[in-house]
Structure 1
Amino acid sequence: MKEINYLAHDYQITLLESTKDILFAGCGVGSGKTDVGSVWILKKIAEMQKGQVGIIAANSYSQLKDSTLRNLYKNYHKWGIRIRPYELPAGHQPFTIKIKNKNDWHEVLCRSLDAYEMISGIEACWAWCDEVWQTKKQAIDIVLARVRDKKENNLLQTLFTTTLDAPDTWMYELFVDNYNPDLMEVVYAPTDVNVANLPNGYIERLKSIYSERLFQRMVAAKWVTLSSNQIYYSFNRNIHVSTDVCFDPKLPLLWSHDFNIGEGKPMSSCLAQIKKGQDVNGKIRSELHFFDEIIVDSVDTHQAINEFKNREWFREKENIVVIYGDASGKAKDTRSKTTDYGILKDEGFPNQKIPNQNPPIRERHNSVNSLLCNANKDIRIKIHPRCKTFIKGLETVSLKKGANYLEEETYSQHVTTAAGYLINYEFPAQIKYSGMANLSGF
C-alpha cells in the first residue's frame, strides 16, 4: 500500500494511534469523522492477514452508500488507493468491496445495521460503524461479538463514528455511564475543529436552520435531549400566533395533508404561504405563514376537497395551489378507491410536491422546531388564531410512553403532522457536507 500523508486533527490522531478495543467518536457534522474512518481502515488493512475480513456498517443502506462509502470512495480515488469495484455498487443489499495492500486484496463486508441479522455468523478482525445513533443496541452487540478473528499482528478493534443522541439512549449508557478507560477510547469533536476545511459560513448556515437544541447536538457535539414531553418545544403561543397573518391571493397557496379517517383520527390539512420576512439581524429570508386549517371527521378525500373549495381563499386565489403531505397517500385513498393524490389531481390540483416516502419522524420534528425558532433565535413560522387545532397540537402533542420519537395519537396531532410534511419539504433541518475540502500531502 502506498504511503499516505494525512493532516489529521487531534481527535483523529487519538483514534488512529489508539490500541484500545472500542473506539468512539461523537462528532459534529462536517468535523471529518468519515475521513478519519477512511484512514483508520487503511491502517487496519495493513494489519490484515490473508483470508481475514473487515466490516463497514451504517444505520441504513442509504446512509452507508450515500454518505459513508461515497466519501470513502472519494478519498481513496483521490489518494490513489486501489479498490474494487472501482465504482460504488448500486442497490440496497449486502455487498463486498476489496482494498489492495501490497500484493493482496482484502475483503471488506458492507452491511446495514437495520438488517443486523446479516452480520450474524461473520468473523471479522475489525469493524467500522458510522452514524449509529439511530441503530438498535442489538445490532451493536452483534457487531462487537463478531470482531473476534484474531491472528498475529492483529488488533481486534471496532470504531464508531457518529452524531450524538439523547442522554437516555444506549449510546450514552455504553460510552458515558459504563465508560471503561481500559477498553474504550472516547473522543468528541464539534464541527468547528474542521472549520478551515469547511465552506465559508457553514456553521452560521447551520445556526439558521437548526433549533438551538439540535445545534448543540449536531454541531457542538453535546448529549442533548431534543424531545421533552412536548414534541414541539420551540412553540410559544405568544410569539407564533398573530392576527397579522393574512392570505395573499397573488402568492401560491400551499395545502398540506395527513390522510386519516376513523374515530379520533380526522382528515387534517393546513393552508400556508411562503412569504418574505426579516431575521433578528434585519436580513431578508423566507418564512411560513399558516392562515387556515381543514379538520373534517370521517370523510373521504372528495369531501375534504369540497370543503377546501368552499373556503374564501380558494375563490380569491390568483396563483396556483401546491399540494404537500403524507407519502402514503400515493398508495390508495382513505376508502381504497384510488390514490388520494390522484383524486386531488383529477379535481384540479396537479401541482404536487410529495416525496416517495415520508421523512423519518424525528427529522420531521426537528424541521418544525428549527423553523419555529432556530439557534439564532430567528422565528420563521406565524400562525393565525383561526388554526385552533394546529395551535393546540403544537402545545400538546407528546411522545408515546417509553418512545424516543413516536407521537401519541390525538385529535390535534394529525394537523401538526400535515404541517410537518410541508415544512420538512421546503425547510428541512439538515445540510449535507461531503467531507474535508483541503486534505494535503497525498
Structure 2
Amino acid sequence: MPRVEPSKPQFDYLVAEDQFPAMVAGFGAGKTEAAVLRSIFGKLKYPGLNRGFYCPTYDLVRMIAFPRFEEALTKLGIQYRLYKSPLNYLEIPGYGKIFFRSMDTPSRIIGYEHADADVDELDTLKADDAAEVWRRILSRNRQKKPDGKPNTVGTTTTPEGFRFVYRTWRQHPQPGYRIIQAPTHSNPHLPDGYIESLRDIYPEQQLRAYLRGEFVNLASGTVYHTFSREMNHTDAVEKRGEHLHVGMDFNIENMSAVVHVIRDGLPLAVGELTGVLDTPAMIDLIKERYADHKISVYPDASGGSRKTVDASTNDLALLKKAGFKVVADKSNPAVRDRILSMCGMFCNANGDRRYLVNTTRCPEYTTGLEQMAYNRHGAPDKTKGTDHVTDAGGYFITKMFPVVKPKKPQMKRVVGLV
C-alpha cells in the first residue's frame, strides 16, 4: 500500500480510538480527506461489517464523497465497486459495504445497519436537526465487532457557532467524545496565498471559525455587525447615464429596492426605494427616477413564481417586459451565504471596507443594517420589518460579490497512514 502523509490533526483523527472523535477544522484543513481515509482504513480493519458515510445533502454525496472515495481507493490500489443512485453504496470485495446517506431527511436513515460510521459537516445542520440525525445514526450503528470493541462514529466539520457539535463535544461532553482541533495552517499542502485569500473575503469573527477551527458566536448581536454608519459612508450619487444595479425584494404592499453603482470594481449604494405597493409600481418609480440609466435588477429569485399584482404574470417577467436586465438564479442563495457576503464586503479581516452606502440617501437601508438582529433561534429576526430592504441589497451583493472559497489543491498524495 502506498505511503500516506497526514498532518498532525489528520493523523490524530485517523488513529483515534475514542468512540466519538470529532475533527473540528478550518477551511482547507483536510477534514473530508481524513474522513474518507478513516472510513476506508476502518472498513479494511473489519471485513464483512458495513460502514456508513453521511453528508448534509445527496448532492454532496454525489459531488464530494463519491469522487473522493474513488480517488483515494485508486491511489491506494484497492479494488472496489461503486453503486450510485438509487443503491448508494461502495463495496470492497471481501470487506463489505460502505453506505452513503444524506442528512437532509432524517426519516430516511432507516433500513440498514453498520458497525462504524463517519459524518461530514454535521454542524451545517440546525442544532435540532443535527441532534435527530445523530440519534438515528447511532441507532444504525449496531453490528457487533468480532474483537468486542465499541461501535464508533467519527465526525469532521467546520464549526458553525454554538450548535450541536459545540454542545455535544465541548459544552456537555460524555465519555468517549473527543475534539481534535485542526486549523487551516495545519495542512502543509495548501497553495501559497490560500490563507491570505480567506482574510480578504471573510470578517474576523468568521475567520476564527473558518480559519482556526474555533467555536465562536456567529449568531448574536446585529446581523451585519461589520457595518459602520460612519466608516461605510459615502457621499457618492449616481452620474448621468451611469449603469445602475438594483437589488430588489418582493413583498405585496412593501416592496424594497437598493440602487447601486459600481466604480473601480466596487459597489456603492446610492439610493433606495421602500414601501412600494407592487412590481408595476416599482417599475414606474424606477423609470421615473432613473429615466436616463441602464438598469440591471438583482431580485429575490422567488419572483419567478410570485405575483405581487395579479395571477397572470410573474414579477420577473414584468421586470423583463419593462426593459430591465434581470440577473437572477433559479433559487436564492442561502441566508448564511448572503450575510457572509455582506459582512465581508462591509469589512473583511484585513480591515478593508469595500462596500459603501450613502447613508443620507439610504436612511432605511442604513437603519436596517444597524438594527437587524438575530432571534432566539439564531436566524435573522424578521418581525421588526427591517429585513426587506436589507434583503434587497443582499441579493445584489451576493450575486456580484459572493464569498467564493479559494480552491484547494487536488490530492497529490493520499494523506493518512502508512
TM-score, normalised by the number of residues in structure 2: 0.92
Structure 2: distance between partners of 1:232 and 1:82: 50
Bigger Cα displacement from structure 2, 380-389 vs 330-339: 330-339
Structure 1: distance between partners of 2:321 and 2:77: 55
Question: What SS does the corresponding residue of 1:144 show, helix, strand or coil?
Answer: helix
Question: Is contact 1:68-1:130 (8 Å) kept?
Answer: no
Question: What SS does the corresponding residue of 2:256 show, helix, strand or coil?
Answer: strand
Is 1:342 equivalent to 2:332 in the alignment? no
Give, as a single letter, the amino acid of the residue that structure 1 aligns with 2:134.
Answer: I
Question: Is contact 1:59-1:114 (8 Å) kept?
Answer: yes
Is 1:270 equivalent to 2:258 in the alignment? yes
Q: Report deviation, 1:191.
A: 0.6
Alignment of 1:228-239 (within 5 A): 228-239=220-231
Ranges in structure 1 where 5+ consecutive residues have no aligned partner: 277-285
- Aligned residue among 68, 71, 74 for 2:68: 71
Q: Report deviation, 1:250.
A: 5.8
Is 1:372 equivalent to 2:346 in the alignment? yes
Alpha carbons of 1:106 and 1:204: their partners in 2 closer, same or farther (altered >3 Å)?
A: same
Question: Is contact 1:254-1:324 (8 Å) kept?
Answer: yes
Q: Report deviation, 1:338.
A: 1.7
Question: Is contact 1:29-1:219 (8 Å) kept?
Answer: yes
> Which residue number in structure 2 is paired with residue 165 of structure 1?
160
> Which residue number in structure 2 is paired with residue 296 of structure 1?
275
Structure 2: distance between partners of 1:80 and 1:321: 57
Structure 2: distance between partners of 1:118 and 1:432: 34
Question: Is contact 1:49-1:151 (8 Å) kept?
Answer: no
Question: Is contact 2:8-2:186 (8 Å) kept?
Answer: no
Is 1:419 equivalent to 2:393 in the alignment? yes
Question: What SS does the corresponding residue of 2:226 show, helix, strand or coil?
Answer: coil
Residues 311-333 of structure 1 show CA distances to partners (whole Å, capped at 9, x for unaligned) of 1xx2332xx42221211111132
- Aligned residue among 20, 23, 30 for 2:21: 23
Question: Is contact 2:46-2:95 (8 Å) kept?
Answer: no
Structure 1: distance between partners of 2:202 and 2:176: 35
Give, as a single letter, the amino acid of the residue that structure 2 aligns with 1:295.
Answer: T
Question: What SS does the corresponding residue of 1:290 show, helix, strand or coil?
Answer: strand
Q: Report deviation, 1:337.
A: 2.7
> Which residue number in structure 1 is paired with residue 363 of structure 2?
388
Question: Is contact 2:237-2:270 (8 Å) kept?
Answer: yes
> Which residue number in structure 2 is paired with residue 185 of structure 1?
178
Residues 138-186 of structure 1 show CA distances to partners (whole Å, capped at 9, x for unaligned) of 111211232111131465211100000213x221111012224x41231
Bigger Cα displacement from structure 2, 330-339 vs 365-374: 330-339
> Which residue number in structure 1 is paired with residue 133 of structure 2?
139
Q: Report deviation, 1:71.
A: 2.9
Alignment of 1:17-416 (within 5 A): 17-50=15-48, 52-85=49-82, 89=84, 95-100=87-92, 103-104=93-94, 106-135=96-125, 136=129, 137-153=131-147, 156-167=151-162, 169-180=163-174, 182-194=175-187, 196-243=188-235, 245-249=236-240, 251-262=242-253, 266-276=254-264, 286-297=265-276, 299-311=277-289, 314-317=290-293, 320-335=294-309, 336-349=311-324, 351-384=325-358, 385-400=360-375, 402-416=376-390
Structure 2: distance between partners of 1:68 and 1:185: 24
Structure 2: distance between partners of 1:250 and 1:204: 37
Alpha carbons of 1:302 and 1:352: their partners in 2 closer, same or farther (altered >3 Å)?
A: same
Structure 2: distance between partners of 1:74 and 1:249: 55
Structure 2: distance between partners of 1:127 and 1:54: 5
Question: Is contact 2:2-2:75 (8 Å) kept?
Answer: no
Give, as a single letter, the amino acid of the residue that structure 1 aligns with 2:20.
Answer: I
Alpha carbons of 1:14 and 1:440: their partners in 2 closer, same or farther (altered >3 Å)?
A: closer
Structure 1: distance between partners of 2:302 and 2:271: 23
Question: Is contact 2:75-2:414 (8 Å) kept?
Answer: no
Alpha carbons of 1:122 and 1:435: their partners in 2 closer, same or farther (altered >3 Å)?
A: farther
Question: Is contact 2:345-2:353 (8 Å) kept?
Answer: yes
Q: Percent identity?
A: 25
Alpha carbons of 1:248 and 1:128: their partners in 2 closer, same or farther (altered >3 Å)?
A: farther
Alpha carbons of 1:76 and 1:334: their partners in 2 closer, same or farther (altered >3 Å)?
A: farther
Question: Is contact 1:127-1:147 (8 Å) kept?
Answer: yes
Question: Is contact 1:35-1:436 (8 Å) kept?
Answer: no
Structure 2: distance between partners of 1:142 and 1:17: 25
| Number of equivalenced pairs | 409
Q: Report deviation, 1:189.
A: 0.6
Residues 5-46 of structure 1 show CA distances to partners (whole Å, capped at 9, x for unaligned) of 210111111112122111101001111111111211111111
Residues 46-84 of structure 1 show CA distances to partners (whole Å, capped at 9, x for unaligned) of 12343x322111222233333344333333344443333
Q: Report deviation, 1:105.
A: 5.6
Question: Is contact 1:26-1:164 (8 Å) kept?
Answer: yes
Question: What SS does the corresponding residue of 2:403 show, helix, strand or coil?
Answer: coil
Give, as a single letter, the amino acid of the residue that structure 2 aligns with 1:7.
Answer: E
Question: Is contact 2:145-2:151 (8 Å) kept?
Answer: no
Question: Is contact 1:71-1:435 (8 Å) kept?
Answer: no
Q: Report deviation, 1:434.
A: 4.8
Structure 2: distance between partners of 1:33 and 1:352: 39
Question: What SS does the corresponding residue of 2:146 show, helix, strand or coil?
Answer: coil
Structure 2: distance between partners of 1:47 and 1:368: 47
Structure 2: distance between partners of 1:138 and 1:128: 16
> Which residue number in structure 2 is paired with residue 282 of structure 1?
none
